Structure 1
């Protein structure tokens, strides 16, 4: 007997429709809490292999997914776009109650396969990685604000080091947000403070050079505000915020590394030249268990680098990637390709050779397009290695893989 539970997920509640042999048997609404799940459990208990389907709704579908996994029920978590395509053929009106019925009818007609259930570690990695990305975005905003305030208080200090990043730079900005604070001190005192500000080993000679450089910057500065103004206090606060956020980023990566230590794919990914631990854990966190994909092209579609072709009559649009899917995974893979290419001089790989060959044969194609093409090659390599539990062997993998 064909029994289907269609569940329409919303923020605080779920609409449930039960179909038996494609006929509506029962409809009800439950809250997203323990009593609500107990009602659903009572309906499911005693049934033999009921089919359960609901749309993937980000964080709002996490609760129902966790409930079903805890109780050992198989389920189908369908992509909303795929659901809409199949449901529109028989759905003329749309509301939460009808959506639950429509989902159940789509399941009865198309018999979707149950969703691959990953180990809990992948969900935890995903949550940590999204926190890492949020910290990255917060740092970018804080740095932009810090730059704006420094233009008022002490713009020349941005030339103190080659990059406006790192613990030394942030400590110096917090201690000397205004040039007058630098000019109050002698070279020896400044050098001592610089030595204390850096977590790295630095010689006294280097600290004296930096102290003189800082003093020269301060001497040539013509700030727009006085030492006692709000802009100076804002510089101190924002530099401290950037430093705190950067520390949290490093702690997040350390935690991801620790909880993924037993995942074989982390070690496999690191065997590819140019992929380090941070790239490996972030990539696994975004892609999840790669074994669930049927083929490498499914990974391309998941991250949105599958190609779109449009032709109508004599008009044919140039191919371009779909850009629909996991944006973070796409960004991580793009940077991974650039890292692989950068180490190719000493550690060539099939991905770097593919990239170089494309670049040589396509003079008018932008580097970004070539990198995206190499991302597809990298996905194929990753898929093969993890599916077969193999480490990367440069002698085995060729550009034609």
Structure 2
């Protein structure tokens, strides 16, 4: 390398230093994250590339949303770069005596680049960036829905607590009934026929006449025995209706996001492979892709485990031995999705054959049986290993091929011998 460009990124600006091959600083300046400064930076990098006959090496520390603009500039102009994890950068730049300033951090990044062998950051397609944005938006909607449900529950205890016992709280029917009848007096003001007709007319899902009558009768009986803490004119009745309306709208938005993600992913091999696994639906498949990104950037499944955060952390010193546990330094959102995916597979085990469920059974029935969570993490590890192989080779999941005791594999082995 002939020149190293190191940047310490902060909000709206970066401190940049340029070191030559003799490890001497030639440039130290501050650049703003806007078009004129980036144009000047582009001219400077082009001049260095023309002077040296090769592009300078660029290194900076990932700083959340603040480094995204700088990264986009490098991608648009075809520059390769090293984006360093903050924890990794801290370990590489550690010293006995150190001052913490933007300038000193930029200098330390440049100096450490000469003694540490760093790999170029893998630049993903825009598809994966879009999927990550959709997935994070989906998670935000989920979080908002959870908060609204908590608020709705609190107010219903004042106005009409029996509603939560009559209907499934997560259903569209429950949300519509809360909007129609937030207070028992609202129910008692209408006849059974009117209530049934309103239920059918205002429910987003198709509701049969028989079921509408059953729900209407149950609603009337609950209203007659209910003793609310507030009157129907109380502002909290309007508030609970607003919460139910907002939850219904957010759920509809979630469905639209999933539909859009599926449309983007239909032709992608990773989506097709994930959907070939039993009990992995559209939502789980697109969310896994959104959080995982391009799986081809990993060299092996062990790197994939570290990214998810299920690699084993072991500590032993002298006679001190701590119990092994997973690292949890990886993507906690993806780890949660995978954990509940395995849980769904185990719950719906009777409907399809799945070697991951069989592996879970094996871990729980062997002489030294594993606890449920330990077995689930082991199943995630196995899933990632299989998925990594299938996606990188463009092969769909097949139970007969995956099962070591299957007749097809036995037949193939016998043919080879």
Aligned with residue 178 of structure 2, among 155, 158, 173: 173
Residue 17 of structure 2 aligns to a residue whose secondary structure is: strand
Cα pair distance change 1:342/1:264, threshold 3 Å: same
In 1, Cα distance between the equivalents of 2:96 and 2:107? Answer: 11
Residue 356 of structure 1 aligns to a residue whose secondary structure is: helix
Name the counterpart of 2:131: 125
The reply to whether residue 313 of structure 1 matches residue 313 of structure 2 is: no
Name the counterpart of 2:307: 302
**TM-score normalised per structure 2:** 0.92
* 8 Å Cα contact 2:172/2:205 also seen in 1: no
* 8 Å Cα contact 2:339/2:380 also seen in 1: yes
In 1, Cα distance between the equivalents of 2:366 and 2:319? Answer: 28
CA-based RMSD: 1.6
| Superposition deviation, residue 341 in structure 1 | 2.2
Aligned with residue 375 of structure 1, among 371, 380, 384: 380
In 2, Cα distance between the equivalents of 1:228 and 1:101? Answer: 67
* 8 Å Cα contact 2:200/2:207 also seen in 1: yes
Q: Unpaired runs of 5+ in structure 2?
A: 406-417
Name the counterpart of 2:371: 366
For 1:233-382, what aligned pairs fall within 5 Å after superposition?
A: 233-361=238-366, 365-382=370-387
Per-residue displacement from partner, 1:376-395 (whole Å, max 9, x unpaired)? 11110111111111111212
Name the counterpart of 2:414: none
**TM-score normalised per structure 1:** 0.96
The reply to whether residue 393 of structure 1 matches residue 398 of structure 2 is: yes
| Superposition deviation, residue 201 in structure 1 | 2.7
Aligned with residue 141 of structure 1, among 143, 147, 163: 147
In 1, Cα distance between the equivalents of 2:186 and 2:368? Answer: 53
Name the counterpart of 2:39: 38
Name the counterpart of 1:18: 18
The reply to whether residue 74 of structure 1 matches residue 75 of structure 2 is: no
In 2, Cα distance between the equivalents of 1:95 and 1:127? Answer: 32
Residue 27 of structure 1 aligns to a residue whose secondary structure is: strand
In 1, Cα distance between the equivalents of 2:7 and 2:275? Answer: 40
* 8 Å Cα contact 2:45/2:55 also seen in 1: no
Q: Unpaired runs of 5+ in structure 1?
A: none
Name the counterpart of 2:411: none
| Superposition deviation, residue 170 in structure 1 | 0.6
| Superposition deviation, residue 31 in structure 1 | 0.5
In 1, Cα distance between the equivalents of 2:31 and 2:163? Answer: 59
Runs of 4+ residues over 6 Å off in structure 1: none
In 2, Cα distance between the equivalents of 1:309 and 1:348? Answer: 35
| Superposition deviation, residue 350 in structure 1 | 2.6
| Superposition deviation, residue 90 in structure 1 | 7.8
* 8 Å Cα contact 2:199/2:212 also seen in 1: yes
The reply to whether residue 8 of structure 1 matches residue 8 of structure 2 is: yes
Cα pair distance change 1:168/1:363, threshold 3 Å: farther
* 8 Å Cα contact 1:15/1:27 also seen in 2: yes
| Superposition deviation, residue 290 in structure 1 | 0.4
In 1, Cα distance between the equivalents of 2:398 and 2:97? Answer: 52
* 8 Å Cα contact 2:363/2:369 also seen in 1: no
Aligned residue pairs, count: 399
Per-residue displacement from partner, 1:44-90 (whole Å, max 9, x unpaired)? 11312211111112211111111111100111111111111111148
* 8 Å Cα contact 1:19/1:26 also seen in 2: yes
| Superposition deviation, residue 173 in structure 1 | 0.3
Residue 45 of structure 1 aligns to a residue whose secondary structure is: helix
Per-residue displacement from partner, 1:267-295 (whole Å, max 9, x unpaired)? 11101111111111100100100000111
Per-residue displacement from partner, 1:198-256 (whole Å, max 9, x unpaired)? 23332211111110001111111100001111221111111111111111111111121
Per-residue displacement from partner, 1:316-360 (whole Å, max 9, x unpaired)? 111111111211111111111112223432322231111111122
Residue 395 of structure 1 aligns to a residue whose secondary structure is: helix
Residue 54 of structure 1 aligns to a residue whose secondary structure is: strand
